[in-house]
């Protein structure tokens, strides 16, 4: 688990006690906040291990520090290769503006290690921001180290303009770990008296999830369930005597109850359809949960009586939606808030009265959401994507304004509010998303053990260039999602954008291999389609407005971009002529992820809600089935690539290829955990790349007096 120093005083290389913050190379370094303020005023959030590396170099300024010493100081007993250290040093140089060919800050000593050659000035945090320097001693309080969040400044004016309805981030509240167990702890909730927290935990062996209750300021939790099924989503009854939870066993999802002190488990409701979340009314008597309308379709919020065991639908999402999620009761139990998701994952918050009626949207913002809770009758706490990670926000039901809540580093999911509305508890998640390779020319193709492209942050959406010599990908290794490119072997990564946006998605190469198009979001579900020269330059805006347009590919002649958008209420494929201001509809029906054949004769595409692959002539005409649902199973969305006339895809059993000459599909290699829309194949058909998770750590964190 990633942990930073706590309750210690740093010392310089001569043993003299020094301040916690320091200046180097014109930048102000704040280790306790994992923050670098560059000389030109830019604020950069730093991954904890990268910050620990910089601190260790600073404490040994002027001395050659061996690679072995640095890896031991930063990674401890965790076994890593030298490549991890090289990437961390490279990240520091990028943040500090240091040129490795003519270094002024970090010098590489061949066969020796690294040496910090810039002067280090230890400063007091209170004075450092004002530009003072000196040898001021500053002892940190004995609290767990927590990384601050910087309020997002407005994005570049030429791209987005202002950020209406978003307020600044207030000072950091007191935040302490609530659990730090081996394994993952999920979906916490306060008891009605605020003294206990219920949660799901997969145990130290990370096997099946069970339900636990833990009192504040105690370490050992009370286990309520012990079963081979997965138990999750626990919530308290209004009187605190019962815990309700969802059990997933084989193909059955059940809502169950168990006494809060342990005892007999009762099944209240069972279904073959998925259940997403569970909440209990503070007024008692009712539960609300999100359930699939039918297997494989959108989710709807349902109201359930624990007394009569009767269910009634509470919401009715449009057919183009993924459905309604994270339903939660207001403090008086009269209103339910939930998020409604479109097919690509943008959410918009809604409310609906328990007695029935139409759901009402809150403001106009669309964001990625990972949980919500009521603060009071006029405000929600929402986990929303911000600067490349999920952070906490207050959402006003009155005017739709978003106000940031500072939290520690990591992605923050599933917040819960204490009954007195003064404390929060949430999941703090740390995951490693990297890009992996399968060599299809090997006798037994399999996923590489180590990632081809990785860092201490995350990498996603790899795309081979048309000649196979380069790879474009999205990474947040600088603290924001940006577009990068590297050689085909994963070396020499180069940052192509510096937009500091909320989200950057869907990179795709132009046919000549000189430009990459992508979508960049302001965080409200809107933004711009841009293209950047891979040899350097400022991104050019191709399309901008209030509608989401995700590039899927260029036309074979490079004159058009195929885009996915829901601008008319349903997700369809549009076509934008380069240089024009308005796209036109390219393919009728609810389709997505269009790609032209190399000769420009056909356009291939998938459907939003139907597994399979189709194609039709670019000039128009009848469509034909390329891959049926039987060929690929579920979940094809974006996970396919076209190489010549062969279709490579990720199906239920792994990676396969469709050979049109033979009219059959062939299995190529096993592959699990592939992130959606991340599959790419080299032009020679010999290499497959995709984004996948290396690991996931989730602990519970308690925030006191956050108001």
The upper half-sphere exposure of residue 553, i.e. CA atoms within 13 Å in the direction of its Cβ, equals 25
Confidence band of 221 (pLDDT split at 50, 70, 90): very high
Mean pLDDT of the chain: 83
Which candidate, 361, 365, 424, 369, places its Cα nearest to that of 391?
Answer: 369
Average pLDDT over residues 186-215: 94
Q: What is the average per-residue pLDDT within 54-60?
A: 92
Considering 112-126, 156-170, 238-252, 476-490, the range whose residues carry the highest mean pLDDT is 238-252
Residues 6+ apart with CB under 8 A from 510: 516, 517, 531, 554, 558
What is the pLDDT, as a whole number, of residue 39? 65
pLDDT band at 49; cut points 50, 70, 90 = confident
Starting from the edge strand earliest in sequence, which strands make up the sheet with 27-30, in order? 43-45, 35-37, 27-30, 21-24, 120-123
pLDDT band at 129 (very low <50, low <70, confident <90, very high): very low
Question: What pLDDT does residue 261 have?
Answer: 94
| pLDDT the model gives residue 57 | 93
pLDDT of 633 reads: 61
Tokens at 511, concatenated: 């046919």
pLDDT in tens, 628-673: 877 776 556 678 999 988 999 987 678 989 888 788 888 899 887 7
pLDDT of amino acid 47: 77
Q: Sorting pLDDT into bands at 50, 70 and 90, what band is 133?
A: very low
Closest listed residue to residue 369, CA positions, set 560, 502, 551, 504: 502
159 or 126: which carries more pLDDT confidence? 126
Query: Which of 40, 72, 34 minimizes the C-alpha distance to 54?
Result: 34
Question: Is residue 124's pLDDT more than 90?
Answer: no
pLDDT band (50, 70, 90) for residue 54:
very high
Q: Which residues pair with 254 in a beta bridge?
A: 247, 270
Residue 600 has pLDDT above 60, yes or no: yes
Is it the case that residue 479 has pLDDT exceeding 50? yes
What pLDDT is attached to residue 254? 97
Cα distance between residue 589 and residue 311, in whole Å:
34
pLDDT at residue number 522: 65
Query: Could you give the percent of the chain with pLDDT greater than 70?
Result: 85
pLDDT above 90 covers a percentage of the chain that reads 49
Average pLDDT for 199-210: 90
Q: What is the mean pLDDT of residues 296-321?
A: 90
Tokens 């009762």 appear where? 266
pLDDT for residue 1 is more than 50: no
Give the residue among 497, 512, 623 at the shortest CA–CA distance from 559: 512
- Please give the average per-residue pLDDT across 421-433, as a whole number: 88
pLDDT at 523: 55
Q: Specify which of 136-145, 149-158, 440-449 reaches the highest per-range mean pLDDT.
A: 440-449
The mean pLDDT of 472-489, rounded to a whole number, is 91
Q: Which of 73-77, 208-212, 391-395 has the lowest mean pLDDT?
A: 73-77
In this predicted structure, the answer to whether residue 524 has a pLDDT above a threshold of 60 is no
Q: At what angle do helices 67-75 and 48-59 cross, to 10 degrees?
A: 130
Report pLDDT for 19: 45
Answer with the residue of higher pLDDT: 79 or 667: 667
Cα(551)–Cα(576) distance, integer angstroms: 10
Q: Is the pLDDT of residue 296 over 60?
A: no
Distance CA 562, CA 366 (A): 23
Sequence-ordered alpha helix ranges (H) in 595-665: 629-632
Query: Rg (Cα) of the chain, in Å, rounded?
Result: 26
Q: How confident is the model at residue 125 (pLDDT cuts 50, 70, 90)?
A: very low
Tell whether pTM > 0.85. Answer: no
Q: Is the pLDDT of residue 336 over 70?
A: yes
Per-residue confidence band for 8, with pLDDT thresholds at 50, 70 and 90: very low
Mean pLDDT of 539-562: 91
Q: What is the pLDDT of residue 150?
A: 21
pLDDT given for residue 560 in this prediction: 95
pLDDT tens track for 35-48: 888 766 667 777 77
> Three-class SS of residue 664?
strand
693, two tokens: 């998770």
Model confidence band, residue 81 (pLDDT cutoffs 50, 70, 90): low
């Amino acid at each position: 688990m990633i942990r930073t120093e706590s309750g210690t005083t740093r010392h310089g290389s001569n043993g003299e006690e020094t301040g916690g913050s320091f200046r180097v190379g014109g930048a102000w370094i704040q280790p306790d906040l994992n923050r670098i303020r560059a000389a030109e005023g830019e604020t950069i959030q730093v991954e904890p291990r990268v910050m620990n590396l910089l601190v260790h170099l600073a404490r040994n300024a002027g001395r050659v520090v061996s690679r072995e010493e640095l890896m031991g100081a930063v990674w401890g007993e965790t076994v890593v290769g030298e490549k991890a250290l090289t990437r961390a040093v490279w990240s520091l140089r990028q943040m500090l503006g240091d040129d490795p060919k003519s270094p002024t800050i970090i010098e590489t000593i061949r066969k020796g290690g690294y040496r910090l050659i810039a002067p280090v000035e230890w400063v007091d945090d209170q004075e450092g921001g004002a530009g003072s320097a000196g040898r001021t001693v500053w002892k940190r309080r004995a609290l767990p180290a927590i990384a601050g969040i910087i309020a997002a400044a407005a994005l570049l004016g030429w791209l987005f303009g202002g950020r209406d309805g978003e307020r600044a981030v207030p000072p950091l509240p007191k935040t302490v770990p609530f659990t730090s167990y081996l394994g993952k702890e999920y979906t916490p909730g306060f008891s009605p008296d605020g003294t206990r927290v219920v949660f799901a935990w997969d145990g130290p062996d990370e096997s099946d999830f069970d339900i636990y209750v833990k009192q504040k300021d105690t370490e050992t939790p009370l286990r309520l369930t012990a079963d081979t099924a997965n138990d999750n989503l626990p919530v308290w009854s209004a009187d605190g005597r019962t815990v309700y939870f969802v059990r997933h066993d084989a193909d059955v999802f059940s809502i169950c109850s168990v006494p809060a002190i342990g005892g007999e488990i009762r099944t209240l409701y069972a279904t073959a359809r998925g259940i997403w979340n569970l909440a209990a009314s503070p007024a008692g008597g009712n539960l609300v949960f999100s359930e699939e309308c039918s297997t494989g379709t959108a989710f709807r919020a349902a109201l359930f009586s624990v007394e009569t065991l009767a269910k009634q639908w509470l919401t009715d999402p449009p057919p183009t939606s993924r459905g309604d999620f994270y339903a939660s009761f207001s403090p008086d139990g009269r209103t339910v808030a939930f998020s409604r998701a479109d097919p690509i994952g943008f959410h918009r918050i809604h409310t609906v009265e328990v007695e029935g009626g139409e759901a009402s949207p809150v403001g106009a913002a669309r964001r990625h959401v990972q949980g919500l809770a009521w603060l009071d009758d006029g405000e929600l706490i929402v986990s929303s994507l911000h600067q490349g990670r999920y952070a906490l926000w207050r959402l006003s039901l009155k005017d739709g304004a978003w106000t940031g809540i500072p939290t520690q580093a990591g992605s923050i999911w599933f917040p819960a509010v204490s009954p007195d509305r003064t404390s929060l508890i949430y999941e703090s998640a740390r995951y490693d998303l990297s890009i992996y390779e399968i060599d299809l020319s090997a006798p037994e193709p399999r996923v590489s053990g180590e990632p081809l492209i990785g860092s201490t942050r995350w990498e996603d959406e790899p795309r081979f260039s048309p000649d196979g010599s380069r790879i474009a990908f999205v990474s947040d290794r600088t603290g924001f999602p940006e577009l990068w490119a590297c050689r085909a072997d994963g070396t020499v990564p180069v940052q192509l954008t510096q937009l500091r946006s909320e989200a950057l998605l869907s990179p795709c190469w132009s046919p000549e291999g000189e430009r990459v198009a992508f979508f960049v979001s302001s965080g409200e579900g809107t933004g711009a389609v841009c293209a950047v020269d891979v040899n350097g330059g400022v991104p050019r805006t191709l399309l901008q407005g209030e509608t989401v347009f995700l590039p899927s590919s260029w036309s074979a002649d490079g004159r058009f971009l195929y885009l996915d958008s829901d601008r008319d209420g349903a997700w369809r494929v549009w076509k934008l002529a380069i240089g024009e201001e308005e796209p036109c509809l390219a393919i009728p029906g609810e389709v997505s992820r269009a790609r032209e054949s190399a000769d420009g004769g056909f356009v291939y595409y998938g459907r939003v809600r139907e597994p399979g692959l189709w194609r039709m002539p670019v000039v128009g005409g009848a469509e034909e089935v390329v891959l049926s649902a039987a060929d690929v199973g579920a979940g094809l969305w974006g996970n396919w690539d076209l190489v010549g006339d062969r279709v490579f895809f990720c199906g239920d059993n792994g990676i396969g290829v469709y050979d049109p000459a033979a009219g059959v599909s062939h299995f190529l290699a096993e592959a699990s955990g592939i992130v959606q829309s991340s599959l790419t194949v080299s032009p020679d058909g010999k290499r497959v790349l995709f984004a996948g998770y290396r690991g996931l750590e989730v602990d519970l964190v308690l925030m006191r007096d956050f108001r």
